[in-house]
């Protein structure tokens, strides 16, 4: 079994090495105090010091948390993770003076620094700090705003405590063993083949939320007002502009996503008709949409077979890409199987000085296969970003983070559909992929449209209560699901359940990332000239360029709504394919 565990000793072999790294950080932070006595003259040294400290801190933080995830039952693993969290927070606050320091330097002098050879490694970083200048207040004002940020976060904290702490849901009477409905089991209830169970879970979930709807309206209104106030104070033209600014995303990208999805909603309606027919229902309700058209295909895929399938499926990405995948399999990047004390789920993680490790809980089924391909996409992206860039420019943004992982899944999907000889398996795979489109592109775009509308109304001085939130949300469901589906009135309260609405204007990135991956995978499978080279450059760019520019160079222009439409053409084709399988 040791062959199926990751090897974290490649990061730190002994406790002595960990202590040496911590001691290095302590000594460097003492040196920082000396440099801060004349910070402007010592700016380059300060930036170098922060880079070396942050790099070492990342290594300690990642190692400690992966050791905890490896086995949380070992108390020393828990202790080390908590200690590293504390150290990281302390270091972050001690370096917080750097951006205000840079912004305090005159433009003429800053331009000289950017053009100088000695600052070349920090050129991108300094340029991005300068971008913030029109939106940066005086030192005193920034301190006040920063100090008040905890109050601004109270709406989100209240949402979490009410949702996941205080709320209690009723017992489900129609399950074999009467069990209490929870957030954790709700999704499973909605995929249950027994329609009575689905309906009961749906109605009891929202009858509970109905009791707290005014409180949830208050917390959401508070979160919106917080962003609106911040955007005004920081000289942004609208609340939406502030969160998009960090990635240099124009509002047109957001709006064109919504516009493109609107133009293709008829394909969603067709899919729902297919679903109604496949499930043999006279009327499709909101509690029916998550039910698969076919129960999970009972195909066992041992890990060794999964490795072979993934390598074959990813061959269109070229020899260099496949060699990295083989490194992951052969050099102990992956912790494969579930065991006592190990963290559930899956992720790809690591730091600049480590392998891009993968935590899996592989269970020999199709879902595990696709999850493994997904996480390998993240790991290859991280591997190439770190290999081809200095530490400070090695991190890619959340905006592009799901592109490589999704593209891997899409290539695997294409390979499985082409090679599968089992009609049920093909139906399962198509349904799986169409559901990804429905939940990642259509659903997240509906969320994005909801966010755009509610923020716009608050900026126009309109007070929103639970009624207004519910009315807006219900009308959007009617638009996105169509007239041929029963839009149950309880769905109007779903907005109250969604934590993402407290992470302002974030959800649209799921839809753009999935759309970009779909367009790029289609081009790669068609062997379009230059596409593979451009894609590999995208994976290697790290944080050198803004995400829209990165994707545009790769061949997916997210500022053009035709890109999203092209992705949804794939959805439309697969709807036609699945029609043939259920006729």
Supply the residues annotated as catalytic.
Answer: 375
Q: How many CB atoms lie within 10 A of CB 415?
A: 19
The answer to whether the beta carbons of residues 424 and 297 sit under 8 Å apart is: yes
Q: Which residues pair with 357 in a beta bridge?
A: 349
Identify which of 118, 91, 127, 104 has the alpha carbon closest to the alpha carbon of residue 39. 104
132-137: list long-range contacts, CB under 8 Å, 24+ apart.
Answer: 132/99, 132/103, 133/103, 134/235, 135/234, 135/235, 135/236, 135/242, 135/245, 136/99, 136/100, 136/103, 136/234, 137/233, 137/234
Joined together, the tokens standing for residue 541 give 């760019």
Ordered DSSP codes for 22-83: HHHHHHHHHHHHHHTTSTTTTHHHHHHHHHHHHHHHHHHHHHHHHHHHH-TT-HHHHHHHHH
Cα 117 from Cα 248, distance rounded (Å): 26
Helix (H) or strand (E) holding 21: helix 15-35
User: In angstroms, rounded to a whole number, what is the distance separating the alpha carbons of residues 180 and 403?
Assistant: 37
Neighbours of 13 (CB within 10 A): 10
Relative to beta strand 357-359, strand 334-335 is: parallel
**How crowded is residue 510: how many other Cβ atoms within 10 Å of its Cβ?**
21
Both tokens of 202, joined, read 């749906």
């Amino acid at each position: 079994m040791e062959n199926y565990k990751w090897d974290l000793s490649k990061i730190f072999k002994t406790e002595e090495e960990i202590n040496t790294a911590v001691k290095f950080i302590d000594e460097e932070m003492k040196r920082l105090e000396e440099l801060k006595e004349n910070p402007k003259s010592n700016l380059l040294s300060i930036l170098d010091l922060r880079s070396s400290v942050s790099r070492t801190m990342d290594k300690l933080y990642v190692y400690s948390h992966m050791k905890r995830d490896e086995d949380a039952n070992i108390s020393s693993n828990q202790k080390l993770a908590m200690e590293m969290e504390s150290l990281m927070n302390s270091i972050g606050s001690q370096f917080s003076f750097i951006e205000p320091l840079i912004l305090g330097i005159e433009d003429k002098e800053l331009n000289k620094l950017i053009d100088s050879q000695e600052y070349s490694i920090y050129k991108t970083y300094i340029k991005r700090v300068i971008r913030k200048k029109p939106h940066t207040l005086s030192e005193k004002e920034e301190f006040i705003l920063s100090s008040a940020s905890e109050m601004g976060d109270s709406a989100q904290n209240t949402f979490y405590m009410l949702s996941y702490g205080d709320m209690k849901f009723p017992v489900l009477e129609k399950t074999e063993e009467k069990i209490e409905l929870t957030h954790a089991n709700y999704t499973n209830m909605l995929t249950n083949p027994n329609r009575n169970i689905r309906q009961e879970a749906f109605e009891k979930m929202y009858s509970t939320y109905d009791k707290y709807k005014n409180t949830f309206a208050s917390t959401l209104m508070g979160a919106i007002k917080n962003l609106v106030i911040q955007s005004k104070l920081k000289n942004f033209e609208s609340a939406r502009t502030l969160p998009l600014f960090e990635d240099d995303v124009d509002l047109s990208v957001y709006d064109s996503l919504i516009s493109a999805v609107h133009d293709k909603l008829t394909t969603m309606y067709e899919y729902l008709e297919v679903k109604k027919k496949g499930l043999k229902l006279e009327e499709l309700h909101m509690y029916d949409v998550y039910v698969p058209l076919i129960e999970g295909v009972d195909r066992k895929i041992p890990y060794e077979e999964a490795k072979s399938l993934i390598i074959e499926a990813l061959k269109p990405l070229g020899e260099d890409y496949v060699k990295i995948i083989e490194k992951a399999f052969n050099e102990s990047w992956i912790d494969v199987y579930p065991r006592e004390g190990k963290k559930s789920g899956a992720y790809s993680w690591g730091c600049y000085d480590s392998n891009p490790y993968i935590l899996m809980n592989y269970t020999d089924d199709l879902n595990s296969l696709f999850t493994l391909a997904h996480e390998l996409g993240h790991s290859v992206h991280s591997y190439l970003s770190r290999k081809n860039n200095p530490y400070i420019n090695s991190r890619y943004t959340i905006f592009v983070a799901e592109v490589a992982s999704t593209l891997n899944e899409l290539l695997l999907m294409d390979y499985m559909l082409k090679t599968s000889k089992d009609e049920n398996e093909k139906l399962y795979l198509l349904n799986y992929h169409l559901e990804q489109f429905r939940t990642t592109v259509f659903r997240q775009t509906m969320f994005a449209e909801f966010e755009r509308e509610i923020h716009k109304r608050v900026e126009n001085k309109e007070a929103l209560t639970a009624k207004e939130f519910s009315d807006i949300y219900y009308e959007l469901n009617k638009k996105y699901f169509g007239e041929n589906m029963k839009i149950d009135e309880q769905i109007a309260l779903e907005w109250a359940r969604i934590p993402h609405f407290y992470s302002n204007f974030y959800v649209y990135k799921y839809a753009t990332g999935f759309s970009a991956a779909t367009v790029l995978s289609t081009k790669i499978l068609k062997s379009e000239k230059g596409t593979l080279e451009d894609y590999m450059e995208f994976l290697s760019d790290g944080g050198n360029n803004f995400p829209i520019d990165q994707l545009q160079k790769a061949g997916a222009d997210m500022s053009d709504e035709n890109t999203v439409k092209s992705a949804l053409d794939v959805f439309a084709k697969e709807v036609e394919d699945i029609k043939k399988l259920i006729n």
